[in-house]
A and B are shown apart, each in its own frame.
Chain A
């Protein structure tokens, strides 16, 4: 009987070690691995970050990009988002390159108030007007 208890205790210790050794050695940090993805997709998907999502929209699965145009030597990008799944609606997004990385400057939004695009470079705001992406808010 006693040897049985000892044997079971050893098994319990080994089982515990097997279960907890990894989180302990990795400092309880969740291991995150990122896969390859098309340019701009991560930045745009990241713009959908909100507490409401358990997973973020994926380009090619939840949305696609259309009419992507670069301005001012690539400093600014305007692109149209076309929703494929229910997760994403059609809209526009404006990105700006900062320290070699594109960040979302405005959007995503289905339509943008002209007051928010007034201070963009002229060719960027003209392209947004051409796309019909802006509206004049009432005073």
Chain B
């Protein structure tokens, strides 16, 4: 055996290296425990593995947190999270607390911040369609409701109240449908008047007073 090969194994440097490593480990333990105690963890879950996730705070910079799912450690505070995938952007907020774990699950889609009929949850429209209006007219009706109350969250049409208005079958009079329901928690009576397959006139009245609240028609081309 060549005695030179033993030189690299355990020379007098070994105790020094051991002490350095022990010191480094102790330092890392102390700093990690300190960091752990003054931060919290946030797990962000998105529906797709390709979703890019970023995080920011008011008047702070932004940082990419990961893709698909992110597990990050942050100082306590309120954070804004953005997840983006295929041009679709979803935002969320999370509050991080010291020593605590927070999970934020982001949806695949989100309501637009710009007022839109798509942001309103309509229920009962299928009964109105079953009573004679077209899907185009249903869309026009949603639009007119939106024009009346842009910030509505829920518009309910009570199915049992949907009824066709009086009309002689041989006349040129417009068709009429009446119904009632709730815009959020506010009751309304509605009358839909139409002569073609696209446009409608929506008249909303206060059920208690009979006062007309809204009366407007769409004027789309019927070509």
Contact = CB atoms under 8 A, between A and B. Distances in A.
Say whether A associates with B: yes
B114 A4 contact: no
Interface of B: 6, 9-10, 14, 17-18, 21-22, 24-25, 28-29, 31-33, 35-36, 39, 41, 50-67, 70-75, 80, 82-85, 89, 91, 93, 112-116, 150
A54 B54 CA distance: 11
A81 interface: no
B21 A55 contact: no
A51 B64 CA distance: 10
Contact of B116 (A32, A56, A119): A119
17 contacts: A4-B6, A7-B14, A18-B21, A18-B25, A25-B36, A26-B32, A26-B35, A26-B36, A29-B71, A30-B65, A32-B55, A32-B73, A39-B58, A43-B56, A45-B62, A55-B64, A56-B64
A51 B85 contact: yes
A3 B150 CA distance: 81
Interface of A: 3-4, 7-8, 10-11, 14-15, 17-18, 21-22, 25-39, 41-43, 45-47, 49-51, 53-56, 58, 94, 96, 98-99, 101, 103-106, 116-117, 119-120
A27 B41 CA distance: 8
A53 to B, nearest CB: 7
The majority secondary structure among interface residues of chain B is mixed
A39 B59 contact: yes
The majority secondary structure among interface residues of chain A is mixed
B73 A34 contact: no
Contacts, number: 163
A99 B113 CA distance: 12
Contact of A42 (B18, B29, B61): B61
Contact of B61 (A37, A47, A53): A37
B93 A99 contact: yes
B59 A22 contact: no
Given A7-B10, A17-B25, A34 B72 contact: no
A46 B82 contact: yes
